[in-house]
Chain A
Amino acid sequence: MIIIEICIGSSCYVRGAQNVVEFVQNIIKEEHWEEKVTVKGAFCMGLCSSGLGVKVNGEPVIGVSLADLDGKLRHVIQREVS
């Protein structure tokens, strides 16, 4: 099981963490990964200075921004799934 933790701390929320949650939930639906991937909420991971806080299987994904969700995140999750 792949665990994706998304920071919903105040700083990330202000910068649009909600969109990250929606984005990840949407790809899970699109790719039918319901059995393979779970999304969890998390608190500040100390990643505030390097983009939005996202961890995939405990590994921080550096430099996540709203503008580049598809490029950054989909790729990382895909790699983990396959």
Chain B
Amino acid sequence: MGLFDHEARQFKFDVLREVSKSAYEGTLTPDIEDQLAYKLIPTTKADFRCCVYKEREIIRQRTRLALGKSPNVRLKVEKKPKQIVQVLEAACDGCTIQRIQITDNCRKCMAKSCVKACKFDAITMGSNRAIINHDKCKECGACVKACAFHAIVETVRPCKASCCVDAITMDECGIAKINEDKCINCAACQAACPFGAIEDASWIVPVIQLIKMDTPMIAMVAPSIQGQFDSASLDQIKEGIRMLGFQDVVEVAVGADVVAWHEKEELKEKMEENVPMTTSCCPAFLNLARQHFPEVYEKNMSSMASPMVIMARYLKKVHPGVGVVFIGPCVAKKQEAMTDMPQPDVDYVLTYEEVAAMLVSKHIYLSELEAEKRQEASVFGRNFAYGQGVSKALIQAAKEDDGLTFTAEYADGCHECKKQLLLMKHGRFNANILEGMSCKGGCSNGPAVIDNSIKIKVRFDKENAPLKARTIKENIDMFSQVNIDLHRHKGGQV
């Protein structure tokens, strides 16, 4: 049985597993694309798409992306390393649906409100129902609102509808295209595409290569990893990842504790100046502000580096020369790790999906592992994985310190983030702090999670319930002994 209900995601996983297996075994040859195409699509009968040839081409493109290469050879352009989210041209269905369509619900009524509502003369009454002349239709949607029978529907391609920065267009063949200047790598389109035609480039091959060359590396796991792998506890998950070839595995939630503590200090300053502040831990939210609301980014965004970056700097300071690999549910983090070049804080980013593929390829079964119990972060830091968790950690940090009171607004999902940033730009934001999460529900519902976020939350709460005694301050004391920069480096574009 597969890990995913979504057949396209299962194929993506199968490709990652096979690539991981070959990389560990040292049998990765240039013809891996063809090998996998025939291994995963062995029949002559198409099961998913129009023919086996298309299915195999999709596998080839998925393989290239799993190797960190450009999925499409047709364009002959090298993939920009910073652009993580990529369209698999062969997998894209090119669903060029007319945006406005008249359905069978049309009763050819006498009011003809649609005809009257159309300012462009695009609707006429046919013999059975109203007809749209798509050459004239400007897709304004007036007829949709006018019809009393809800017979006219407005449909948008899922990728386009999910994109809050309007970065998706279609080429002449109807294949989705990403405008890389607008794209914030949030991967909302990746999560939305029913054909799995938009995916993230993977770094599993170089990570495995480094492991095989005995390079010392530490893995850091994002807080939302708790509960991702069925009944495996966080300690078991960490042990399993260590067995993949890492020197140690630590919680990024410790960095989250640090962020909560210092962000609260910054909030105090901002409140004295009467300027609202935004959080800065979600990389897609940060990209949204930086690329589309530069004034807000400069004036309002917290100057704290993300928990991932803080933790990486800490590890590199304490263990000089070590490589740091972040493991999370997030695609935008891959891009965040690439932006501070040269000398990046985080060397590589893997997703839960990719780690699961590596674990399966190495036959490591997490729930069977013996693992030592170890709590590094507070439960408040771990809660960064869920929507409103950052605000709650800030409240806790204030409680443990000087009891600052403030109001917080939570933006759930990229569209809501955009709305709140717009309000802030125009001085209409009313709370003291805006917590922005590009994925609805927070990181636990990120594009590369394995399990359903409700199930994860249940396991997360159960495991953390007895651990609430640990305060945020304990980790701050530990951190203050190591002198590292806690602020985001300005600029640093690739």
Contacts and interface: CB of A to CB of B under 8 A. Distances in A.
B81 A14 contact: yes
Given A43-B323, A43-B347, A10 B213 contact: no
A49 B342 contact: yes
Contact of A40 (B81, B215, B337): B215
A17 B206 CA distance: 9
Interface in A34-74: 39-44, 46-49
A11 interface: yes
Nearest to B334: A10
A13 B342 contact: no
Contacts of A17: 206
A11 B341 contact: yes
Nearest to B201: A14
B344 A10 contact: yes
Given A10-B338, A13-B68, A21 B209 contact: yes
Contacts of B210: 8, 41
Contact of A14 (B68, B215, B342, B344): B68
B314 interface: no
B481 interface: no
Nearest to A13: B206
Interface in B370-417: none
Interface size class of A (residues with CB under 8 A): 10 to 19
A29 to B, nearest CB: 14
A10 B342 contact: no
B483 interface: no
B206 A8 contact: yes
B343 interface: yes
A46 B206 CA distance: 18
A3 B177 CA distance: 45
B245 to A, nearest CB: 11
A46 B344 CA distance: 9
Interface residues of B, number: 21
Contacts of A41: 209-210, 213-215
B213 A39 contact: yes
B348 interface: yes
B203 interface: yes
A14 to B, nearest CB: 5
A42 B343 CA distance: 12
Contacts of B205: 13, 18
Given A39-B213, A40-B215, A41-B215, A10 B343 contact: no
A48 B342 contact: yes
Interface string B466-489: 000000000000000000000000
B30 to A, nearest CB: 11
Q: Which of A8, A11, A40, A47 has the most CB of B within 10 A?
A: A8
Contacts of A46: 342-343
Contacts of A18: 205-206, 209
Interface string B196-227: 00000001011001100111000000000000
Which of the listed residues A11, A13, A48 has the most CB atoms from chain B within 10 Å of its own CB? A13
A9 to B, nearest CB: 6
Nearest to A18: B209
Interface in A1-29: 8-11, 13-14, 17-18, 21
A44 B81 CA distance: 15
B213 A44 contact: no
A13 B494 CA distance: 15
Given A8-B209, A44-B347, A13 B203 contact: yes
A13 B119 CA distance: 55
Contacts of B215: 8, 40-43
Given A40-B215, A41-B213, A9 B347 contact: yes
B206 A10 contact: yes
Nearest to B347: A43
Contacts of A47: 342
A10 B209 contact: no
B348 A44 contact: no
A80 B206 CA distance: 27
Nearest to B79: A14
Nearest to B69: A14
Contact of B347 (A10, A14, A39, A40): A10
Interface in B300-348: 323, 337-338, 341-344, 347-348
Given A10-B348, A11-B81, A44 B209 contact: no
Interface of A: 8-11, 13-14, 17-18, 21, 39-44, 46-49
29 contacts: A8-B209, A8-B210, A8-B215, A9-B344, A9-B347, A10-B81, A10-B206, A10-B337, A10-B344, A10-B347, A10-B348, A11-B81, A11-B342, A13-B203, A14-B68, A14-B79, A21-B213, A41-B209, A41-B210, A41-B215, A43-B323, A44-B341, A44-B342, A44-B343, A44-B344, A44-B347, A46-B342, A47-B342, A48-B342
Given A17-B206, A43-B347, A44-B341, 20 more contacts: A8-B206, A8-B215, A9-B344, A10-B81, A10-B203, A10-B337, A10-B338, A10-B341, A10-B347, A10-B348, A11-B81, A11-B494, A13-B206, A14-B79, A14-B81, A18-B209, A21-B209, A40-B213, A44-B343, A49-B342
Interface of B: 68, 79, 81, 203, 205-206, 209-210, 213-215, 323, 337-338, 341-344, 347-348, 494
